[in-house]
Structures are given as C-alpha cells and as structure tokens.
Amino acid sequence: MRDLYNLHKFYSNDKSSKQLNNRRKSFGYQVLGFGSGGAAGAVLNDEGIFAYGSAGAGNLSMSNKVSNAGVVATDVVGVGTARRYLGATQYGGDKGIFAYGYGPSHVATSNLVSSSGVIGTDVTGVGTGRELLAACSYNNMDNGIFAYGGTPGYVSVSNLVSNAGVVATDTSGVGSARSYLNACEYGGDKGIFVYGNDGSATNTSNLVSNVGVVSADVTGVGTARESPAACSYGEDKGIFGYGNAGGYQNMSNLVSNTGVVGTDVSGVGTARYALAACEYGQDKGIFGFGATGSQQNVSNLVSNVGVVSTDVSGVGTARSGINACSYN
C-alpha cells in the first residue's frame, strides 16, 4: 500500500461493415440458437489505445495505439491535460473517452477518442474531480460509466456517459466507497467494478446493468488487491489481472458472461500494479505498462478464451497510473 501512495505522491476495419457483421453474428446466436446467446447487436472494437500516466517524475499526456493484432505502437505526442490515475471507457459503439485523474490536482476533465484513435482536446469537467476511479461501457458499448475513486477520501458516486460522449453529473453512489479498483464489460451489454481499497484491500464487486444502474456490493472472490487492470475478451466475458496485495501480483480472475468473478488463476508475466488493459481484435485483450517499484512498458496479450500470455517486450515510454480503452 505504501508503494502505491509513494508513487502517487511522487509525482482498421470499416466500422459500418463490422457492425453489420456483428449484428449478423448476434442474429445467428439469438434466433437460430447457435453459440452462447450473447447480447443482440453487440458491437466489438478492433483497436485500442493506452494514454496518460506518470513516468515517475511527472504526469504525461502521450498515447500508444494497439493494432487489431495486439501490437503496441510507439509514443504519440499527447493532447489534453497531463495526468495520472484517470479512467477510460468506450462509448458510441466505436469511440472512447478518458476522464478525471490527478494532474496536478483532482480534475473532472475529459478527452474524447475518435473512431480512428485521435484524442481530442480537454472538455470542461462534469462531476466530482477525483482519481483512482474506474470505468467501463454498458448497453452494447453505446454508453459508459465512471464510478468510485478518491478525492483523496473514498467516494462511491458515478457519472454516466451518453452515446455522444457527454458526461453526466454525479449520481449518488451504491456500494462501498473505494479507490484503486477497476472495471470491465461482460455479457455484451453490462459491466462490473471489482477490487480496490476502502481502508484496506478489498475484493468486493458491483454489477452494472444494461441501463447503467450500479448494484449493491457482492461478496468478493479472489485475492483482495489494489490497482489491477481489467478488460473484456471473448465477446461477452471479462478479466481482471495483476495488482498489489502486500506485494506485486500477476494473478488473474475471469468474469463469466453472467458477471460471476472466478477464483485466482496463477499469474503469467511481470507482476505489477497501476497498469491498464483494453480489448483489441474484437474478442481479445491486452494488459500493458504499470509499475514494479520502477515503471514498466511490457505488455501481455489475452486470448479469446481468457489465457494471458508471457511478456512482450515493451514499446513506448514506461509508465504507470495509465488507462486504456478500445475504439474502431
């Protein structure tokens, strides 16, 4: 825990045809009865983007794109307020948004990501400025939600994101107020927030319905820890990985398409925390960056059945307190 606070203190496929293909796939699942019965009309993105964070000596606004083959690109000059410990999620089916964070104070600023991965300039913040929060999409990736975080006191407020990327004002929180958590999509149209710190490390989870309603606390599964990363995979499932539990971790926990968190899976790759993850290639995921006491830029791919790969040599500036989302 001390490491976390010291670090904090220190411092392209055509979209229309893809949507049509996904709708055809959903039609096959729902009407003809094939496959697992994912949410109708689910939209799946091809590429991802990591952005912002801290390299130890200060905040950054640079970004690194992820191709539809899971390849991380070199640094792109940053846009918007340099900050760390922010949130990120998809919205509008093929776009993304980074919001909130610390830099050099708690902010509610947001930056939209276009369907081609271009980050926009600062948008005036809405809601409680905070850091160490989490975000995910819901409603078939059409909408997003930011929730929880620190001001530095723990909060449980949430802010919905419309399909035009507009962040709403605070909604009274549900569940244990906490920070250092993360979130991802599951079931094609829902989300889940898990782990974090509410005075001590926790493994509590909170489900998000397909209309953006956060549920009450669900008894935790897996090792209680802080600052893991999370993303979706396999079209309708999720994965939480890495984090800090009195020491750096590389374990993972799979989330079923009904929002059930699985027990710990033995770790693969460099144990670290304060990293980020996102979807790529429509049904796969990637963990990247983070800290082990020093900044990292290694990445680990996640297959479409939730298997985490060994380390891939780092690309881009090593940093932590970063976040990521998918697009296109």
pTM value? 0.89
More confident residue, 159 or 14: 159
Token pair belonging to 136: 């995910």
CA atoms within 13 Å, Cβ hemisphere of 153? 2
More confident residue, 202 or 267: 202
Round to the nearest angstrom and report the end-to-end CA distance of the chain: 36
300-318 tens-digit pLDDT: 999 999 999 999 998 999 9
Over range 178-195, report the average pLDDT.
Answer: 98
Token pair belonging to 49: 């983007």
Rounded CA-CA distance 42/74 in Å is 30
**Which one, of 174, 160, 302, lies nearest residue 238 by Cα?**
302
pLDDT at 13: 42
Query: What is the residue type of 155?
Result: V
- pLDDT > 70 fraction of the chain, expressed in percent and rounded: 87
Q: Where are the domains of the chain?
A: 2-327
Using the structure block, give the residue that is written with the tokens 């790529």: 280
| Mean pLDDT score across all residues of the chain | 90
At residue 41 the predicted structure's pLDDT band, cuts being 50, 70 and 90, is low
In Å, how far from its chain's centre is CA 277?
Answer: 6
Bridge partners of 51, per DSSP, are 63, 323
- Listed range (36-40, 78-82, 199-203, 316-320) with the worst mean pLDDT: 36-40
Superfamily for 2-327? Kelch-type beta propeller (2.120.10.80)
